[in-house]
Amino acid sequence: MKIKPSISGNSWIYVDNFLLNALDEDIGNGDVTTSALISPKHVSDTALISKGEFIIAGLTYAERIFHLVDKGLKFKALKKEGDRVRNGSIIARIKGNTASLLLAERTALNLLQRISGIATITNQYVVAVKGLGTKIADTRKTAPGLRYFDKYAVRTGGGSNHRYGLFDGILIKDNHISAVGSIGKAVKLVRSNNHHLLKIEVETRNLSDVRGALNAGADVIMLDNMTLEKIKKSVDLIKSRKNSVIIEVSGNMNLGNVRKIAETGVDMISVGAITHSAAAADISMMFD
């Protein structure tokens, strides 16, 4: 069941299944320590505290975890989604049954720290290209099973999402082209075999590919693993021909080179590292 909560809808089914499974791997048959020591009537006041500076993201999901374990827990966020928090800030207060708080603590922190970590690194890229109109986008290089949350984290950090998966966007790569014979043939075939609401992106490795993609009528052209110079020439070529084509750059991006690439005028830079190699933000839960 995949129905996911969105800003507008209210269904939590997909997210709940994920969170319950995550709780299950931690809790299994129960907390053998807590169930022996903490009275079922014992209550606590706790606070989520930042250790270090970062973008906080994922609070709604953390709150949901506490409520899945115990509907009676009170969760009050003191920071808004996407806020930059300083070291030692109180992010949220959670009150209620102590045993329930301990059952939910680790799973909630693990998710919150991951989402915040991805939002934080994404935001560093977004800041690096500020003012240039270039979008920072994610890739399909997410942790298995976590794509929904990883992509949410990217948006919250100010980045853009690329297609969700293989099913909701057309991206013609070199393997496709060589199997079919030419970019032109590939674009034509893919158009006639898909519904009319999908654009066509073509991955290119050199100027000749770019020319082929332009001639084939590609809607989006990805410049893959090109040098800065080649990127410049490609951008010039594309803009000289058809201004409405979207230009995406991909490959070997880092915080040192991303602004230079953005300055070439490309529309979008996609970065795998923001989802596959983000360090967790450091957050702890303090009991008063």
By annotation, the residues acting in catalysis are 106, 141, 173, 203, 224
Q: Does residue 183 belong to the site contacting its own copies (CB under 8 A)?
A: no
Which residues, in sequence order, are CB contacts of 268 under 8 Å at separation 6+? Answer: 134, 135, 136, 137, 160, 246, 247, 248, 249
CB of 208 to its own copies, least distance (A): 19
Q: Could you say which residues in the range 214-253 bind its own copies, by CB under 8 A?
A: 219-220, 246, 248
Place of tokens 């490795």: 205
Site string for its own copies, 26-65 (x = CB under 8 A): xxxxxxxxxxxxxxx-x-x---------------------
Segment near its own copies (CB under 8 A); pick from 75-83, 87-95, 125-133, 270-278: 270-278
Q: Could you say which residues in the range 199-218 bind its own copies, by CB under 8 A?
A: 199-201
Number of chain positions touching its own copies (CB under 8 A): 112
Q: Does residue 193 belong to the site contacting its own copies (CB under 8 A)?
A: yes
CB of 23 to its own copies, least distance (A): 6
What SS3 class is residue 286?
strand
What SS3 class is residue 75?
strand
Q: Could you say which residues in the range 128-157 bind its own copies, by CB under 8 A?
A: 137, 140-149
Phi, psi of 69 (to 5 degrees): -75, -40
Segment near its own copies (CB under 8 A); pick from 81-89, 194-202, 233-241, 258-266: 194-202
Q: Could you say which residues in the range 69-88 bind its own copies, by CB under 8 A?
A: 69-72
Contact 204, 223 (CB under 8 A): yes
In whole angstroms, give the CA distance from residue 268 to residue 136: 6
State both tokens at 25. Answer: 């791997």
In whole angstroms, give the CA distance from residue 154 to residue 135: 11
Q: Does residue 114 belong to the site contacting its own copies (CB under 8 A)?
A: yes
Using alpha carbons, list the distances in angstroms from residue 151 to 116, 168, 201, 218, 263.
12, 15, 20, 26, 25
Instruction: Please say which residue, 44 or 206, places its beta carbon nearer to its own copies.
Output: 44
Q: Does residue 257 belong to the site contacting its own copies (CB under 8 A)?
A: no
